[in-house]
Chain A
Amino acid sequence: MAEYIITTDKGQWEVVVGLEIHCQIISQSKIFSGASTEFGDEPNTNVSFIDAGMPGMLPVLNQECVHQAVKTGLGLNAKINKYSEFSRKNYFYADMPTDYQITQFRYPIVGEGKVDIDLSDGTTKTIGIERMHIEQDAGKSIHDLSPTKSYIDLNRAGVGLMEIVTKPDFRAPEEAGAFLRKLRSILRYLGTCDGNMDEGSMRCDVNVSVRPYGSDELRTRCEMKNVNSVKFVMQAIENEAKRHIEVYENGGIIEQETRQFDPTTGLTKVMRKKEFAHDYRYFPEPDLPPLILSDEYINSVRNEMIELPDAKKQRFIETLGLTPYDAMVLCENKETADFFEQATAGHDAKKVANWMMGDFFAMLNKKRLDITQSPISAENLGALVELISKDVISGKIAKDVFEIMAQTGENPEKIVEERGLKQVTDTGAIESIIDAVIAANQDNVAAYKNGKTNLAGWFVGQVIKQSQGKANPAIVNKIVREKLDS
């Protein structure tokens, strides 16, 4: 893509960004206990003795979470580590009942991988994945219910997380945005995380530094914690980069620190200076043996893998003839891609794609509906395209039929049949309408013959109007010209 260069009076700068994304694992129960992971239940109802850090309680690894992590690793085209181990990250906080988090440190379950992102100018870029590990989530502290007390909800404590760490490969806010959308798409395809940033099931930490354009140094970075939308991530990068540049250009230095992004101002403010950084005293978790995965296990998960957006997109382009843009849009979420594939079964894929990209998405948008709630079924959309392809209805009538489908959910054949919208292709019937129109407009016939040949279109329009839109435009056009030219 076009390079993202920040130009000031004093020079040109480039941003260097890496992301750390915490993704809540979709699983029945928590990663180290049998408590439910249900979101939105009454506070402190989904809490086992293990989650509450009671004396003598021991973690037991939930194999479902391991399975989800391996699946995700494969989805990130990453190396699955056959040996991984858990560690304790020690720090005191009231919503962390054991006062340590069980995580993976030296030996994560997933190693290096890569994800291709699609950029607005149609190019793609590969973003490196550094690693992915699994760990437990903390509970929630609620500070605004009382002026003197904090409340703790442990329902989330112990829910499984996957922490995905990228390489510092992003050079523009747009790239980070595209990555997050792509990651969310992959996770949703896999069913390993619902990717809802607004509900906190996907949370992003953003590491930003800048350097003079053209240099390959890595300068001090600042980390922004828990930026909770794609838009805010892009905004945070943009504004944090500007802050760094301003500091450097005024002869200052950037200190390594943790900052907080304020969505109301779009700016970042310091949260924790480096000297106050925790010493987490990581050490191997003695309550859990190392996690050993066999080749058979990894292969069995590999065999469960479904087609992911990139592969699907490629197939839509190569075998169905879609444009890269259409293919990308249709593949972004699995439900849309599935809808498209169902609609296109046996029908003209490009035409189905055009309908989806146009009227169909517009209709969903207008009605504020998710594709899974669409009043028009995939089969019916396919049938509509088929009616057009077979000249049963014209494209114009099809728009009317589509409107009726959107309102009633009925199938297009029935609508066309009941409302008599079938296209007239009988040349005899069309001819008689044409003859009547010509007879009634002799002045225009004369004008046509005197060289105003674009009047042919006017005659076609009149004929179609008289047929109430049902006359096949191609046939009308052909016969009108024949008669006028004769």
Chain B
Amino acid sequence: MQEITKLTIAEALQGLKNKNFTAVELTEAYLKNMAQGKKYNAYITECADVALAQAKIADQNYAVGKARALEGIPLGIKDLFCTKNIRTTAASHILDNFVPPYESTVTQHLLDDGVVFLGKLNLDEFAMGGSNETSYFGPVINPWSKDKLLVPGGSSGGSAAAVAAHLCAGSTGTDTGGSIREPAAFCGVTGIKPTYGRCSRYGIVAFASSLDQAGPIAQDVRDCAVLLNSMAGFDEKDSTSCNLPVPDYTSFLEQDIKGLVIGLPKEYRPNGLNTEIAAYWDKAAEMLKARGAIIKEISLPHTKYALATYYVLAPAEASSNLARYDGIRYGYRAKAEGEHLDELYIRTRTEGFGKEVKRRIMIGTYVLSAGYYDAYYLKAQKMRRLIRDDFMEAFKQCDIILTPTSPITAFPIGDESMLQNPINMYLNDVFTVSVNLAGLPAMSLPIGLAQNGLPLGMQLIGKPFDEGTIFKTAAAIEADAKFERI
């Protein structure tokens, strides 16, 4: 591994500024790592030419003292973000060789700040999955794997694995039900899903529009702050983005947490919660307490309905969002087109979508159907409101909520129980989906290793648009946990 790729983004920026190395050197170092790290299958598309051209421009800007906020920082982009003139697949066969003629707002913000694009990162197909095994381009390997190959989590599995294995300095992810936080936890890196509406969804291939949110995955809390500074902001092209000022998130990192009230939801500690995870949770709370925070038990009474609610609403929206992949205008079209338009649709979608995507389209279509709408979709919408109300009520008693990110550590690729019964896979989202349903910001950061030597993550859930409190609390835990990255 190239030494300079071990630097955090903040450190690399300093190195570039001090002319310790050039952006081209930094980019080339990552490209070497990528060549050596092909076994992880983290990238779907690599774009070395684009990266080197961008790095050259970055060096010119450093030379004339016009460096932008992220000048020359090599990033990997989850392949759900449309990138102009760079193939975008959503890890699906149905998008085939789709090359967008436009740039997503979030990646445009990053480009405007001078980043270098190394390539497009692997994910679960259309971000539907929690293990990165549903990708048309094959699973991503968790860099923490030892004897058995482990999943990196999902859906932003490529984004988390690439950061963990230093195949990029940082990456973008998206999170609909935990897709940033779970892989960050499994790969021992840090990721934040901001408040719904904080980052524009324009140009991100939609999974479930009312839940999807972009966010960064990076080596540490500061890097997440640096990246989110660039990614966030109102966009008139996304009517659900919020017109609120974006504070400098790095300004929160050194802030004191004395007197901060940390809520621990009792419903997140069911009988049978893994004892190691429970112990780390307590340890994290102790760390905060030692710094003067106040620990308080809170209640989120509708937590037990969150998974069911999520797995009605997300597929419902997905079934509609994915209708456009019909073989008519772009992407894959069945070779044998058939006699009628309906046949073309059926063949294209049968061949183009993977199993999990089809499953969710079927569920979503079912719950929206006449006669079932009230029993499923409408009831889930009501439950979503109650879940959000739970949080709002809890935030009257605390400033931030601390929970584990996932009930398990990374599991082996091809796990029988999960492949045979998707519900077992869905259960891994138990701590993360409520946050999306409530539209709240939440971060996962590594707290330590389990007995099996695999990383565990802690989740910090903030009030709407209060990412700042998450950053300062996370910085405190990070400093005390002293987690050792790869």
Residues of A whose CB lies within 8 Å of any CB of B are 49, 52-61, 88, 90, 92-94, 97-100, 150, 152, 279, 281-283, 286-289
Contacts and interface: CB of A to CB of B under 8 A. Distances in A.
Tell which of A58, A88, A152 has the most Cβ of chain B within 10 Å.
A58
A279 B367 CA distance: 12
B276 to A, nearest CB: 38
Contacts of B342: 92
B102 A287 contact: no
B328 to A, nearest CB: 5
Given A92-B326, A94-B341, A286-B210, A54 B239 contact: no
B402 interface: no
A14 to B, nearest CB: 32
A55 B82 contact: yes
Counting chain A CB atoms within 10 Å of each CB, the highest count among B95, B204, B323, B370 belongs to B323
Given A56-B206, A93-B341, A152-B328, 5 more contacts: A97-B328, A97-B329, A99-B323, A281-B373, A286-B317
A97 B324 contact: yes
Nearest to A288: B239
Contacts of A58: 201-202, 237-239
A99 B325 CA distance: 9
Nearest to B212: A286
Contacts of B204: 56
B320 A281 contact: yes
25 contacts: A49-B101, A54-B100, A54-B330, A55-B100, A55-B205, A55-B206, A56-B202, A56-B203, A58-B237, A58-B238, A58-B239, A61-B239, A90-B323, A92-B323, A92-B342, A94-B341, A99-B323, A99-B326, A281-B373, A283-B316, A283-B373, A283-B377, A286-B240, A288-B240, A289-B239
Interface in B296-348: 316-317, 319-320, 323-324, 326, 328-330, 341-342, 345
A442 B329 CA distance: 96
A358 to B, nearest CB: 56
Nearest to A150: B341
B236 A100 contact: no
Give the 5 A-B CB pairs with smallest separation, nearest first. A99-B323, A286-B209, A281-B368, A286-B210, A56-B203
Nearest to A283: B368
Given A58-B238, A94-B341, A49 B369 contact: no
A150 B328 CA distance: 11
A330 B23 CA distance: 76
Contacts, number: 95
B320 A100 contact: yes
A54 B330 CA distance: 8
A88 B238 contact: no
Contacts of A99: 323-324, 326
Interface string B92-129: 00010010111010000000000000000000000000
Interface in B168-211: 201-206, 208-210
Given A55-B98, A97-B329, A100-B323, A287 B82 contact: no
Contacts of B98: 55
Contacts of A289: 239-240
A48 to B, nearest CB: 10
B329 A52 contact: yes
Interface string B358-372: 000000010011100
B88 interface: yes
A109 to B, nearest CB: 16
A155 to B, nearest CB: 15
B201 A55 contact: no
Contacts of B206: 55-56, 287
Contact of A98 (B240, B324, B368): B324
Contacts of A279: 369-370
A98 B326 CA distance: 9
A98 B209 CA distance: 14
B90 interface: yes
Identify the interface centre among B204, B365, B370: most chain A CB within 10 Å of its CB: B370
Interface string B70-96: 000000000001100000101000010
Contact of B239 (A60, A152, A283): A60
B210 to A, nearest CB: 4
Nearest to B371: A279
Given A94-B341, A281-B320, A287 B205 contact: no
Interface-centre pick from B95, B201, B239 (highest chain A CB count, 10 A): B239
Contact of A94 (B100, B319, B328): B328
A100 B330 CA distance: 17
B236 A98 contact: no
